[in-house]
Chain A
C-alpha cells in the first residue's frame, strides 16, 4: 500500500485528482463534496456512448466558473472514461475530480499512468498567434528540408566525382544492375507513350496545317517539338513515375529497416553506395532512351502525316531535317539527362530522409514523384529561357 498511498498523496497535492480507495476513504478526503448543483455526478455506466453527454454537462459547468466531477458512482467504464479522466486532470485550474473508485483509479494508473497531463494540455493561444505559429513552423520546416536537399545534392556531386576518380565505395557491378533495371523498367512504357504523344500532336496539328495548305510543315513541327521539348519532358515524367518511385520506395524501405544505418556503421557512406550507381546508371540509360524516344515519336508523326495528309515518309524526313539539326537533338539530350539526375536526387532525398514507420514509405514515394516532376518543370522553364 505504501506506493499507492504515496501516489494518492502526490495526486491530491496536485489538487486535481482526489483518489479514493473506497467509500469510507472518500468521506475522509477534504475535497470531497456531497452531491449538489455544482457537482457533476457521473452515472454508474460510463462507456464511450455515454461520454458525449457527460462531457457536455462538465463543459457547461466549467464555463459557468468551474466544475467538480464525481466519479464515485462509476462502476462500468472503458478507455474513453480513462481518457476523460486524464483530460479533466489536465484541466486542474477549473476542474476538480472527486471519488475516483479503486478499480477506476487502478486502471487509470495502468493505462494512463505514463502519460503526463502536459502532453494533452498545450497552452491555448489566440487564433492569429496560432496561425502565425503554424505558418512559421511550416516555413522553417520547408527551409530545413531545402537545406537538406541542397546538402544531399552537393554530397552527390562530390561522391560521384570521387567515385569516378577512385572507383571505390560502390558495390561491384551495381551500376550495370541499375542500368538494366532502369532501362528495363522504362523502355516499354516510354516507347508506347512517346509514340502516342507523337500521334496526338501530329493529328492535332495536321487539321490546322491543312486549313492553310501548309501540310508539309507538320514534319518541322513534329521534329522540332519532339527533339527539343516533348521527348525530354515526357521522358522525365515517365522516369519520375517508374524509376523515381521505385528508387524512393527502395531507399525509404531500407531506411525504415535500419539498413541505411547498418551501412553507415559498416563504414560505408550510404549517399555514395546507394546513390552514385543510380546517378551514373541514369546518365548511361537516358541518352539511349532519348534516342529511342525521338525515333518513336517521329515515327508517330510520320504515320499520321502519311495517313491524314498523304505526306511520304521520305519527304517528311527531308523536310524535318531542314528545320532541325544536331544542336536540337543535343539540347533535348542534355535536358533529359538533367531531368534524370533530378529524378534520382529527388527520390534519394525523399528515400533517405524518411521517418521510421512503414507508412512513411508510401508517403515518401508519392512525394518523390511530385518533387521530381516539379523540378523537371522548373528546369525545363530555365532551359526555355536560356535556349529560345
Chain B
C-alpha cells in the first residue's frame, strides 16, 4: 500500500520551477532513498511532502487523500502523520533535549499527565540511545547526538512516515552506520516508513528498499534498489559508480 503518492507535481519558489511533473509513490513500511546531484531539488521535495511548501501544480496524496495546502485541517493531518528529521537536527536551542522531545506531545496533548509524558520521552530517548543526554541543551551535544535527538523528537508522536534530510551528512562512518541501523530497526520492528534524502552511497545500499533519482528537476528513474543499481542508464552509472566522462578520456 502506498502511503504517499504524488501526481504531476511541480514545485518551486515564485515563478522558478525547481521540480517538474514528478510522479511517484512511497510504499508503506519501506525505506525510500531520494538521490540526485546537489541542488536538484531533493530538499525542496521533502518540504512539499512535509506540507511546508505548496506545489505550483500537481497533487500530493497522503494515505490516498489529496492534501489541500491551503486548508489547516488537511495540513494538520500531514503534520500529525509525518515526522521530519532536519539536516542539522533543528532542535530548539533554548530547551533541553528532554523538553525538545516532549514539545510536540505537550503542544498536542496539554492535559497529558507529566509522569506519562516523562515515560514516553525517556522511552524515545532510550530508543535512540540518548537517555543519558536528556538534561543537556542542544549546544552541549555532538552532531550525531543532535541528529539522534531530532529523530527521537520526530518519532515521539508516532508518525506514519519520517522524512529524513541527509541524516548522515557531517557524521563519521561509525555514527552514520548506527543511525542506519536505527532506521532499519524502526522499519522492521515498528513498521515505520522512511523517505531519506542522502548522498551516502553506502547508506543507500544498506537501508534503501527503493530509490528515486532526481536529475535536473525531473524524476530520472525510480525502482527497487537492485533494479536501480543495476541500471545501465549513464546518469545512474555516473551517480553510483562515480564514472564521469572525462575519466574515460
Interface residues of A (CB under 8 A from B): 1-4, 7, 106, 109-110, 168-169, 171-172, 254, 257-259, 261-268, 273
Give 3 closest A-B pairs by Cβ, nearest first: A3-B245, A267-B79, A262-B90
User: Whole-angstrom distance from the CB of A125 to the nearest CB of chain B?
Assistant: 19
A-B contact pairs, 27 of them (CB 8 A): A1-B248, A3-B245, A3-B246, A4-B245, A4-B249, A106-B246, A168-B110, A171-B106, A171-B107, A254-B93, A257-B88, A257-B90, A258-B87, A259-B90, A261-B86, A261-B90, A262-B86, A264-B51, A264-B79, A265-B82, A265-B83, A266-B79, A266-B104, A266-B157, A267-B108, A268-B104, A268-B107
Of listed B80, B87, B91, B103, residue having the most chain A CB within 10 A? B103
Inter-chain contacts of A254 with B (CB < 8 A): 92-93
Q: Given A257-B88, A259-B92, A262-B84, are A171 and B246 also a contact pair (CB < 8 Å)?
A: no
- In the complex the two chains form, what is the Cα distance from A268 to B52 in whole Å? 12
Residues of B within 8 A of A264 (CB): 51-52, 79
Say whether B103 contacts A266, CB under 8 Å: yes
Chain B residues with CB under 8 Å of A4's CB are: 245-246, 248-249
Q: Decide if B245 touches A267 in the complex (CB within 8 Å).
A: no
A7 to B88, CA, bound (A): 38
Interface residues of B in 70-112 (CB under 8 A from A): 76, 79-80, 82-84, 86-88, 90-93, 103-104, 106-108, 110
Q: Which residues of A contact B87 (CB under 8 A)?
A: 258
Which B residue's beta carbon lies closest to that of A272? Answer: B107
Nearest CB on A from B104, distance (A): 4
What CA separation (Å) do A172 and B79 show in the bound complex?
Answer: 21
| Chain A residues in 8 Å Cβ range of B92 | 254, 259, 262-263
Which residues of B are in contact with A by a Cβ distance under 8 Å? 47, 50-52, 76, 79-80, 82-84, 86-88, 90-93, 103-104, 106-108, 110, 150, 153, 157, 234, 245-246, 248-249
Minimum CB distance partner of A109 in chain B: B246
- Decide: A261 near B246, CB < 8 A? Known: A266-B104, A267-B107: no
Residue of A nearest to B107 (CB): A268
Chain B residue with minimal CB distance to A166? B110
Across-interface contacts of A2 in B (CB, < 8 A):
245, 248
Q: Which residue of B lies closest to A267 (CB)?
A: B79
Quick check: B107 and A258 within 8 Å, CB to CB?
no
Would A1 and B249 be within 8 Å (CB), given that A168-B110, A266-B104 are in contact?
yes
Decide if B51 touches A265 in the complex (CB within 8 Å): yes
B4 to chain A, nearest CB (A): 14
Residues of A within 8 Å of B91, CB to CB, are 259, 262
State how many angstroms separate the Cβ of B94 from the closest Cβ of chain A: 8
Residue among A110, A168, A264, A266 having the largest count of chain B Cβ atoms under 10 Å:
A266
Contact check, B248 vs A266: say whether CB atoms are below 8 A apart: no
Bound CA–CA A225/B234 (angstroms): 78
Q: Which residues of A contact B52 (CB under 8 A)?
A: 261, 264-265
Using A3-B234, A254-B92 as known contacts, list a sample of 20 further A-B pairs with CB atoms less than 8 Å apart, ordered by residue number in A: A1-B248, A3-B245, A4-B249, A106-B249, A109-B246, A168-B107, A168-B110, A254-B93, A257-B90, A258-B90, A261-B50, A261-B52, A262-B150, A264-B51, A264-B79, A265-B50, A265-B83, A267-B79, A267-B107, A268-B107
Report the bound CA distance from A168 to B51 in whole Å.
22
Distance, CA A259 to CA B110, complexed state (A):
21
Give complex CA distance A254, B86 in Å.
Answer: 13
B-side contacts of A259, CB under 8 Å: 90-93
Given the complex, which residues of A lie within 8 Å of B245, measured CB to CB?
Answer: 2-4, 7
Pair B108/A258 contact, Cβ less than 8 Å: no
Contact A169 B107 (CB under 8 A): yes
Looking at the assembled complex, report how far the CB atom of A274 sits from the nearest CB atom of chain B, in whole angstroms.
10
User: Shortest distance in angstroms between A164's beta carbon and chain B's nearest beta carbon?
Assistant: 15
Complex contact B88–A258 (CB within 8 A): yes
- CB A250 to nearest CB in B, in angstroms, measures 8
| Closest chain A CB from B22 CB (angstroms) | 20
Question: Closest residue of chain B to A169, judged by CB?
Answer: B107
